[in-house]
A = this chain, B = another copy of it.
Amino acid sequence: MQDTPSRPYHHGDLRRAVIETALDMLAEEKGWQFTLREVARRAGVSHAAPYKHFPDKAALLAELAMIGFDRLRDALSAAKPEAPKTLRDEITPIARAYLAFGTENPALYRLMFSAEEGKAVGMHLNERALAVFDILREILRLGQAAGSIRKRPIEGQAAAGWGLIHGLTMLAIDGLLVPEKVGSAPLDAALSALVEGLGSPAT
C-alpha cells in the first residue's frame, strides 16, 4: 500500500487486534453475520492475514467463545455477595449478573453455546464453560454443608440451576420473554421456585 506510516508493515500484535475487532463486531450484533474478510477489513489488513494467526474461522470463533466464558465467569465472581444472609440473597445477584451478561452480549452469548462440540476445540471450550458451572456447584456445596440446601446430588441441582438461568437468558435474547412487558417478574419467579425447591424445608 502507499503511505501508511502510522501502521508498520508488521502489525505487531495482529492476533489481539483481530480478536478485539471481532469482539467489537459481535457487540454491534448486526444480525449475527460474521465474515473473516470483514474482520480483516476492519482491522485494516488483507483478507488472508488472520490466517497467519488462526488456522481457520472456527478457531477464531472458538477463541472468542472462550473469552466470552472467561468474561462471564469474572462477571459472576464479581457479582457474588460477600456475606449473604439467605440462599436467595446469595443467588439473586449472581443470576441477575448472568442474565445481564447474556442480554447485553447476545451475539457473543449465542456464539458461546453454538460452537461445535464435536471438535477438539470443544474440549477446551467445555473446560471454560464448566468453570462457570463450578461457581454454581460451589455455592450448592457450601449450602449443603451449612444445611441451607437439601442434601441431594449436587450435579442434578447444579444442572437445574444452570439450565434455568441459561434458558431464561436464551429466551430473553430471542425476545420471547418480552422483558419490557414482563419486567423482571420471570427472573424473580424463577428464582423463587428454584430457591424454594432447592432450599431446605426448614428455612
Given A113-B176, A159-B171; 15 other pairs, CB 8 A cutoff: A110-B114, A117-B174, A126-B175, A152-B189, A156-B189, A157-B193, A159-B189, A159-B190, A160-B168, A161-B193, A163-B186, A165-B167, A167-B168, A194-B197, A195-B197
Contact of A129 among B164, B176, B185, B192 (CB under 8 A): B176
What 9 pairs between A and B have smallest CB-CB spacing?
A167-B167, A156-B189, A193-B197, A159-B186, A160-B190, A197-B197, A163-B167, A163-B168, A166-B167
| Closest chain B residue, CB of each to CB of A119 | B31
Contact with B along A95-136 (1 / 0, CB 8 A): 000000000000000100110111000100010011001000
Secondary structure class of chain A's binding surface, majority of residues? helix
Q: Is the CB–CB distance between A159 and B182 below 8 Å? A: yes
Q: Smallest CB–CB gap between A53 and chain B, Å?
A: 24
Asked if A60 is at the interface (CB within 8 A of a chain B CB), the reply is no
In the complex, A193→B114 CA distance in Å?
A: 27
Asked if A55 is at the interface (CB within 8 A of a chain B CB), the reply is no
> What range describes how many residues of A lie at the interface?
35 or more
Q: Is the CB–CB distance between A168 and B176 below 8 Å? A: no
Q: Smallest CB–CB gap between A99 and chain B, Å?
A: 10
Known contacts A113-B174, A182-B159; is-contact A193 B194 (Cβ 8 Å): yes
Q: Which residues of B contact A177 (CB under 8 A)?
A: 159
Asked if A170 is at the interface (CB within 8 A of a chain B CB), the reply is yes
Known contacts A159-B185, A190-B164; is-contact A170 B170 (Cβ 8 Å): yes
Q: Which residues of B contact A167 (CB under 8 A)?
A: 162-170
Q: Smallest CB–CB gap between A137 and chain B, Å?
A: 13
